[in-house]
């Protein structure tokens, strides 16, 4: 995993396993650093073959001078433990809750994407006082508004024993497979897929037992309907959506945002951008997050 200059990787032992996370190296940054009362920023990556905290590595360095910045690899991804056991939404909700408690000295603003962002909505609904705000990139439970994630062809294929692992190792956890996945599912402009991005995703996808969590995601084991939770949200939130997002089209975003205009203060659509603007247009995301932080922390 590529770690930006000025940051270090640390580890945290939790009930579900050891979590690797990235934070700023205090010896690197000039000046006094973030003020004691500054709001922590917790950057949480999404799910998909090779996902890890690298997903936010082009964005979070811009905030380290003013905020404690933390970017974990979730269990089953990146450099965190990859236990060979069933993965469930409930597991990840507990994990994310534990990360907030253990890593954040004060209620953080969480910056999260896709399925992880949807899970953060559920945590905010259950524990509204533990989060300062939410900045969510294409949040979706992937079974939203009655959608059936098990109906796709790829979902049916990965439910076949042995075939699922062969598919993962031969078609997903390869340099060509990663690049194709990014081009077809995450980027609107394939020319933005740098070799470094492919290498970082590949390193995560090739960790021992990396297929277990990835296949649980593809099978739909982690999917749920976000709509009932989003309608109950009271934590202030902003939503940003790539116009060309594949897994979760903009129309889904519009429907979700309309459920709770009181909590969702902004809903921005990025033209010509795919599912991960934090990698495809990191400068744009940095500027937007700066605006969102002003809105969320006043």
Residue 27 scores a pLDDT above 90: no
Predicted confidence (pLDDT) per residue in 201-221, tens digit: 999 999 999 999 998 998 889
Residue 122 scores a pLDDT above 50: yes
Predicted confidence (pLDDT) per residue in 76-96, tens digit: 999 999 999 999 999 999 999
Task: Supply the CATH classification number for the domain 7-296.
Answer: 3.40.50.1820
SS3 for 145-199 is HHCCHHHCHHHHHCCCCCHHHHHHHHHHCCHHHHHHHHHHHHCCCHHHCCHHHHH
Contact by Cβ (8 Å): 159, 219 = yes
DSSP state of 74: P
What angle (nearest 5°) sits at the alpha carbon of residue 96, between those of residues 256 and 214?
80
Binned at pLDDT 50, 70 and 90, residue 48 comes out as confident
Cα distances from 88 to residues 75, 100, 224, 230, in angstroms, run 11, 19, 11, 20
Binned at pLDDT 50, 70 and 90, residue 229 comes out as very high
What DSSP string runs through 87-151? --HHHHHHHHHHHHHHH-SSPPEEEEEHHHHHHHHHHHHH-GGG-SEEEEES---BSGGG--GGG
Tell me the HSE value of 89 on the side-chain side, using a 13 A CA sphere: 20
Binned at pLDDT 50, 70 and 90, residue 278 comes out as very high
Contact by Cβ (8 Å): 263, 124 = no
Contacts for 128 with CB less than 8 Å, ≥ 6 apart: 234, 235
Average pLDDT over residues 278-293: 97
Provide the sign of the torsion angle of the four alpha carbons 97, 98, 104, 105, taken in this order. positive
Residue 159 scores a pLDDT above 60: no
Binned at pLDDT 50, 70 and 90, residue 284 comes out as very high
Amino acid 130: pLDDT: 96
Contacts for 154 with CB less than 8 Å, ≥ 6 apart: 218
């Amino acid at each position: 995993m590529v770690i930006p200059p000025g940051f270090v990787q640390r580890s945290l032992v939790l009930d579900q396993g050891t979590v690797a996370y990235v934070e700023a190296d205090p010896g690197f940054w000039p000046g006094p650093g973030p003020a004691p009362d500054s709001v922590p920023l917790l950057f949480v990556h999404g799910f998909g073959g090779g996902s890890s905290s690298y997903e936010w590595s082009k964005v979070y360095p811009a905030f380290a001078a003013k905020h404690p910045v933390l970017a974990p690899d979730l269990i089953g991804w990146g450099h965190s433990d990859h236990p060979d056991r069933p993965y469930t939404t409930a597991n990840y909700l507990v994990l994310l809750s534990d990360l907030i408690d253990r890593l954040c000295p004060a209620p953080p603003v969480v910056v999260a994407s896709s399925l992880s962002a949807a899970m953060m909505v559920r945590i905010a609904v259950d524990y509204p006082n533990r989060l300062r705000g939410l900045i969510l990139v294409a949040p979706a439970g992937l079974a939203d508004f009655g959608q059936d994630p098990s109906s796709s062809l790829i979902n049916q294929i990965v439910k076949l024993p042995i075939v699922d692992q062969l598919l993962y190792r031969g078609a997903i956890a390869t340099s060509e497979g990663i690049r194709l996945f990014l081009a077809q599912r995450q980027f609107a402009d394939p020319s933005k897929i740098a070799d470094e991005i492919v290498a970082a995703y590949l390193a995560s996808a090739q960790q021992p037992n990396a297929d277990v969590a990835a296949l649980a995601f593809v099978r739909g084991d982690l999917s749920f309907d976000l709509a009932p939770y989003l309608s109950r949200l009271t934590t202030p939130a902003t939503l940003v959506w790539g116009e060309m997002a594949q897994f979760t089209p903009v129309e889904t975003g519009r429907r979700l945002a309309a459920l709770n205009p009181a909590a969702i203060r902004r809903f921005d659509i990025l033209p010509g951008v795919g599912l991960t603007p934090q990698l495809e247009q990191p400068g744009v995301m940095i500027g937007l997050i700066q605006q969102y932080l002003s809105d969320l922390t006043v």
